[in-house]
Amino acid sequence: MRRFRTVALLALSAMTLPLMAQSEAGMMMELGAEKKLSKKVSVGLDAELRTRNNLKTIDRWSIGLGAEYKPIKNVKLAAGYLLLNDNFRESISYKTDGSYNNWRPSYWGIRHRLYASVTGSYKLTKNLQVSLRERWQYTYRPEKTVERWDFDNAWWEDKVRDSKGKNVLRSRLEVEYDKKHALLTPYASVELFNSWAIEKIRYTAGANINLSKQHTLNVYYRFQDMRNVDIDDFEPDMHYIGVGYKFKF
Amino acid sequence: MKKILYLMAMACMMACQNDDTDFSAYTSGAISTIRVISITYNGNSVTVTGDNKGYVSATGADVTVNAADNDSLLLVLSGTTNDGSLLVFRDRKYGIRLNGVSITNNDGPAINNQCGKALYLELADGTVNTLVDGAAYDETKSYQQKGALFSEGEIVFNGAGALSVTGNCKNAIASDDYIVINATPSITANSSTGHGFKVNDGIWINGGTLDINVTADAARGIKCDSVVVITGGDITIKTTGDCVYEEAEADYSSAACIKCDYPFTMTGGTLKMTSSGDGGKGLNCADVITIKGGTFSAITTGGNDDSKPKAVKGDKGIILSGGSFYAKVDKSWACDNGTDSEIASERVTVVGTPSEASYEKKEVKVVF
């Protein structure tokens, strides 16, 4: 009961975070299942739901399939596929005199993502471990025709959003306090998203709650610092409360 | 575990709002940012309202609009004139709503749009509109005049009204850009001197009813220097002209219901073409013809004295993969895909398994 209260309080506190300028609060909820095929190989199925707009709007849901391979003790290779269904934010364009030009409302659209990563870890002390994960991801957005309001002509018109592919290199440095048989495994990480320029930085602090050998809960706070955002785009910094659950077969 | 799932379900229920800006006042029409100028033709004069920028000038019923400002503009036309016109100079896209107007211009186009950007031409629901040009234009003008309805920029047809355009000097409808037909307009294009539609950069027909009749020798129902794409609509094209010997080409130029220089693609709608002049063709495409859906019919009844009256000619192939295809001629071959094969079935490429197929020299039918 106490754990539940803690999670609930963290979620509620997220609603007060958007008081900071140009930032919003959201939640990340994750469900995962993992099956070890051998000592070195495992496969997993993950689902995620995100919210934005101070928890009031669903931002994305996704499902993914991945596999991990540990060739040697401190190295982990991973690869997988994600199907993303995003609620793309609205887009408003303005004319040079400041008046409205076009408005494209928010809409739902599918994206496909492939990723591959390599993680190297090193134990600083008996319980303290540092790891570096380099993850390449390619995300493809298929072409989609959406409606756009033309203020000049006062009518809706079709707008074709062209298909688009994007490569991103994600670099995550994480420190974890992993004491054997302990209930909590606290961790903190910083992750850079690089696509020719740093697009965002994620700072995360949280803990894995090891309920049993099979059940793991993950609770975290994450601040997502948006960088190099186009002046016409509204992509605020995000304060996330994350809750995850993983079942290990 | 149940509590976690409960928390997640609660979060999902909370996240049911949209975070878009509320523009409902604009989209509902409560706030309008558009400048609406109404021009009503009254015989030899016009009445203009809403022109507080002084865009409009008129000599009798010949109206000139010089709208140079960077604003939004809609011209609403109504009334009748037997000696009038509309000439528009502008740099930005704009709209014209034909709201029950009849314009006949004896010495030029009924509507001449000199704007190189998009012209949104709306046929107001339930209205009947008529544009007619004269038999001879005043060619001393410094701007181009290529038809009874002429536009330098693209024309996007919208609405559910009716429009009849008659070209007595050149073409009925002409654009130096491209043409799109959306919604459900009913358009009739007649020309005794030129093409029904003359368009440079492509035509997309997505809906509506299109009835084209051209009678001049070597005239085309649709003459397009680029692609023709049909996704919907009910289209009927008829030509009666014979072929003409072109000195410059040292060859005969024949009439055709549709003549295009780039691919022709049909995915929906109904297209019915008949050509009766000597050498007159149905569809004459210098590229590949692809029919994936819709009902396609091309029938020629002309002779082959000077040119071959093929029903469907696609120089780079005729590919059928859906819909219904019918081609018939009285003379020559029904289909010509550039292969010169003596076997009729080799003159089309059929993808998939049609429910009905017959291949004769003068009649080809493929139904999926």
Question: SS3 letters for chain A?
Answer: CHHHHHHHHHHHHHCCHHHCCCEEEEEEEEEEEEEECCCCEEEEEEEEEEEECCCCEEEEEEEEEEEEEEEECCEEEEEEEEEEEEEECCEEEECCCCCEEEEECCEEEEEEEEEEEEEEEEECCCCEEEEEEEEEEEEEECCEEEEEEECCCCEEEEEEECCEEEEEEEEEEEEEECCCCCCEEEEEEEEEEECCCEEEEEEEEEEEEECCCCEEEEEEEEEEEECCCCCCCCCCEEEEEEEEEEEEC
Give residue A232's pLDDT. 62
- DSSP3 helix / strand / coil % (chain B, rounded to 5): 5, 50, 45
* Stretch A235-239: mean pLDDT: 92
CB pair distance less than 8 Å for B23 and A149: yes
B200 inside 8 A of chain A by CB: no
Q: Is B24 helix (H, G, I), strand (E, B) or coil?
A: helix
Structural domain total, chain B: 1
Give the angle A17-A18-A21 at the CA atoms, nearest 5°.
120
Query: End-to-end distance of chain A based on CA atoms, in angstroms?
Result: 26
| Cα B161 from Cα B74, distance rounded (Å) | 17
CA A61 to chain centre: 10
pLDDT at residue number A93: 86
pLDDT at A97: 58
Q: Which residues of A touch B3 (CB under 8 A)?
A: 4
CA distance B313 to chain A (A): 32
Taking the C-alpha atoms of B62, B67, B68 and B72 in order, what is their torsion angle to the nearest 10 degrees? Answer: -160
In chain B, which residues have pLDDT < 70?
1-5, 7-8, 11-13, 15, 29-33, 70
Q: How far apart are alpha carbons A34 and A51 in whole angstroms?
A: 25
Report CA B111 to chain centroid distance, whole Å: 16
- Enumerate the residues of chain B whose CB falls inside 8 A of the CB of residue A99: 33
Paired sense of beta strands A237-248 and A215-226, if any: antiparallel
What is the model's pLDDT at position A10? 46
| Nearest Cα residue to B208 out of B268, B280, B297, B298 | B268
Given a cut of 60, is residue A174 above it in pLDDT? yes
Residue that wins the pLDDT comparison between B31 and A158: A158
Is there a contact between B21 and A51 if contact means CB atoms under 8 Å apart? no
Residue B246, judged by CB atoms within 10 A of its CB (0-12, 13-18, 19+), counts as: exposed
**Tokens 């080809």, residue located:** B364
Q: What is the DSSP letter of B218?
A: T
pLDDT band at A8 (very low <50, low <70, confident <90, very high): very low
CA–CA gap between residue B158 and residue A153 (Å, rounded): 13
Does the CB of B120 have a partner CB in chain A at under 8 Å? yes
Tokens 């749009």 sit at which residue?
B113
Q: Which helix (H) or strand (E) holds B326?
A: strand B324-329
A8 contacts on B by Cβ (under 8 Å): 7
| Block residue for tokens 């339930």 | B126
d(CA A93, CA B286): 41
Structural tokens at position B216: 């001049």
Q: Do A53 and B17 touch (CB under 8 A)?
A: yes
Decide: A13 and A5 in contact? Cβ < 8 Å.
no
The answer to whether the CB of B220 falls within 8 A of the CB of B244 is no
Q: Which residue of B has its CA nearest to A212?
A: B1
Rounded to the nearest angstrom, the minimum Cα separation between A217 and chain B is: 9
Cα–Cα distance, B115 to A111 (Å, whole number): 39
Asked whether residue B13 is domain-assigned, the answer is no
Per-residue model confidence (pLDDT) at position B27 = 78
Regarding the domain delimited by A2-248, which CATH topology (the fold level of the hierarchy) does it fall under? Porin (2.40.160)
Is-contact B181 B204, C-beta < 8 A? yes
Mean pLDDT, range A132-146, rounded to an integer = 96
What ipTM score was computed for the predicted complex, to two decimals? Answer: 0.81
Query: What residue spans define the domains of chain A?
Result: 2-248
CA distances from residue A52 to A16, A239, B8, B169, B179 in whole angstroms, order as listed: 13, 9, 14, 62, 42
**What are the structure tokens assigned to A84, written together?**
């993303």
Cα separations (Å) of B200 from B89, B146, B264, B356? 20, 12, 14, 37
| Chain A residue with minimum CA distance to B29 | A154
Among B156, B148, B95, B100, smallest CA distance to B125 is for B100
Cβ–Cβ below 8 Å for B4 and A106: no
Contact between B177 and B154 (Cβ < 8 Å) = yes
* Helices (H), ranges, chain B: 2-14, 24-27
Whether residue B44 is contained in a domain is answered as no
What amino acid occupies position A161?
R
> Which amino acid appears at position B45 of this protein?
S
Confidence of residue A152 (pLDDT cuts 50, 70, 90): confident
A94: confidence class by pLDDT, cuts 50, 70, 90: confident
> B52 in a domain, yes or no?
no
The arithmetic mean of pLDDT across residues A38-46, rounded, is 95
Assign residue A59 a region (left: φ > 0; alpha: ψ between -120 and 50; beta: otherwise).
alpha
Contact B12 A58 (CB under 8 A): yes
How far is Cα B243 from Cα B256, in angstroms, rounded to an integer?
Answer: 9
What is the reported pTM?
0.59
In angstroms, the Cα distances linking B159 to B37, B75, B238, B264 are 19, 15, 24, 25
Q: Is the residue at B40 inside a domain?
A: no
pLDDT at A4 over 70: no
- B chain contacts of residue A18, beta-carbon cutoff 8 Å: none
For residues A14 and A239, the answer to whether their CB atoms sit within 8 Å is yes
- The chain-wide mean pLDDT, for chain A, equals 88
Tell me if B118 is assigned to some domain: yes
How far apart, in whole angstroms, are the C-alpha atoms of residue A195 and residue B155?
Answer: 40
Q: Any idea what DSSP says for residue B29?
A: T
Query: Tokens 């007649």 map to which residue?
Result: B190
According to the model, what pLDDT value does residue B34 have?
72
Interatomic CA distance for residues B10 and B3, integer angstroms: 10
- Band (A156; pLDDT cuts 50, 70, 90): confident
Give me the domain span that covers residue B226.
97-245+252-367
**Which one is predicted more confidently, B70 or A243?**
A243
